[in-house]
């Protein structure tokens, strides 16, 4: 099996002023894609993607992900088309619902997430194609909305989702799916099955691109690398259980640890095996093997979320020097 494409996740906890240097380095050393996360309230995904596209010349750039509800789909379609026309065939739109806690902070959590995602993705696609929309949906309304500058070439739309119904929806209406950090290999296999169910139900025959985000740290001292991902992994796991934890089989243990120790000291009690299974951290050879394993599980792209973020340029350089050559050699 060919190795997966290698992406770099930027944005989120990476400060805006670090984006351009990191993107330039990533393109120069051979990364295939750059993904701009939009975690609220850190670094903007659309503005970050604009910066990176302007600063680079060939590397693929994607949002991963922007929320379906923070911007009205008409505004989101306008932003996507602007980037697509300015940088033809380089941009991918990653759209998801967003972390529920952040949406509630803004009073934007929808009553029906599934219906909201369908409305957003389908209306964005229609507007990008130049259609005029007028309808009253469950979440969004349109009254003779039409883009003055629709896209000139098709923009892939990938959905960032995790549960079975959302994954099936992605398989039925999207070009690809973005899977969250802390995914296990079994979860990737299971997610692919759900996506295929959705695709088959609607007769979609095109290749559906699966991207896996992974917390990532590489160091010649493996313990340094593992220590770098412990805190961020505990941050994601301490927010509770979901399809990822159910498939991996640690939902009950997470609840037990949270009840016993609380979220504040969750990282101290995080089992070391979770770091081995749910992140890409270790020596260059260990990291290359873990990237390859995600590809074998069904990932077309493995997008690396570099940690610690203040060492992003060093991590990119070491990855290029010692991880990518191992992958290319096998």
Kindly tell me if the per-residue pLDDT of 330 is higher than 90: no
| CATH of residue 171 | 3.20.20.30
Q: What is the mean pLDDT of the chain?
A: 95
Per the structure, the count of domains in the chain is: 1
Query: What sign results for the dihedral spanned by CA atoms 16, 22, 23, 24?
Result: positive
More reliable by pLDDT, 179 or 261: 179
Domain that holds residue 132: 5-329
Return the ∠ at Cα 148 (arms to 143 and 150), rounded to 5°: 100
**Alpha-carbon span 222 to 284, nearest angstrom:** 9
pTM of the complete model beyond 0.85: yes
- Read off the pLDDT of residues 11-28 as tens digits, 9 standing for 90 and up: 777 889 989 998 999 999
Instruction: Quote the percentage of the chain above a pLDDT of 90.
Output: 87
- Read off the pLDDT of residues 198-242 as tens digits, 9 standing for 90 and up: 999 998 878 999 999 999 999 999 999 999 999 999 988 888 899
More reliable by pLDDT, 63 or 264: 63
205, two tokens: 């025959």
- Read off the pLDDT of residues 49-78 as tens digits, 9 standing for 90 and up: 999 999 999 999 999 999 999 999 999 999
What confidence score (pLDDT) does residue 156 get? 97
CB 287 within 8 A of CB 190: no
More reliable by pLDDT, 172 or 18: 172
**Alpha-carbon span 214 to 291, nearest angstrom:** 9
- The mean per-residue pLDDT over the stretch 29-45 comes to 94
- Sequence-distant contacts of 266-272: CB under 8 A, at least 24 apart: 266/234, 266/237, 266/238, 267/230, 267/231, 267/233, 267/234, 267/235, 270/230, 270/233, 270/234, 270/237, 272/226
What confidence score (pLDDT) does residue 1 get? 58
Q: Which residues pair with 157 in a beta bridge?
A: 93
- The mean per-residue pLDDT over the stretch 103-112 comes to 94
40 three-state secondary structure? coil
């Amino acid at each position: 099996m060919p190795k997966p494409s290698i992406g770099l996740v930027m944005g989120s906890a990476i400060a805006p002023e670090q984006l351009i240097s990191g993107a330039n380095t990533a393109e120069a050393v051979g990364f295939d894609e750059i993904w701009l996360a939009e975690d609220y309230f850190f670094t903007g995904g659309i503005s970050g993607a604009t910066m990176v596209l302007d600063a680079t010349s060939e590397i693929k750039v994607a949002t991963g992900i922007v929320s379906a509800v923070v911007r009205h789909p008409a505004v989101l379609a306008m932003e996507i088309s602007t980037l697509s026309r300015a940088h033809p065939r380089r941009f991918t739109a990653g759209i998801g619902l967003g972390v529920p806690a952040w949406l509630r902070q803004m009073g934007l959590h929808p009553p029906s997430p599934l219906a909201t995602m369908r409305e957003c993705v389908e209306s964005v696609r229609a507007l990008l194609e130049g259609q005029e929309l007028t309808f009253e949906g469950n979440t969004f309304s349109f009254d003779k909305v039409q883009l003055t500058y629709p896209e000139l070439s098709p923009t892939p739309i990938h959905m960032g989702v995790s549960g079975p119904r959302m994954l099936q929806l992605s398989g039925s209406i999207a070009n690809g799916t973005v899977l969250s950090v802390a995914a296990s290999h079994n979860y990737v296999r299971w997610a692919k099955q759900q996506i295929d169910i959705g695709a088959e139900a609607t007769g979609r025959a095109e290749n559906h691109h699966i991207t896996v985000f992974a917390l990532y740290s590489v160091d010649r001292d493996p313990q340094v690398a593992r220590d770098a991902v412990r805190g961020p992994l505990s941050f994601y796991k301490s927010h509770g259980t979901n399809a990822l934890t159910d498939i991996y089989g640690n939902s009950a243990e997470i609840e037990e640890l949270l009840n016993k120790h609380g979220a504040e000291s969750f990282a101290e009690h995080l089992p070391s095996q979770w770091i081995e299974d749910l992140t890409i951290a270790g020596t260059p050879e260990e990291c290359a093997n873990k990237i390859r394993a995600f590809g074998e599980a069904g990932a077309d792209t493995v997008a690396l979320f570099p940690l610690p973020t203040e060492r992003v340029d060093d991590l990119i350089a070491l990855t290029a020097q010692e991880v990518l050559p191992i992958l290319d050699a096998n």
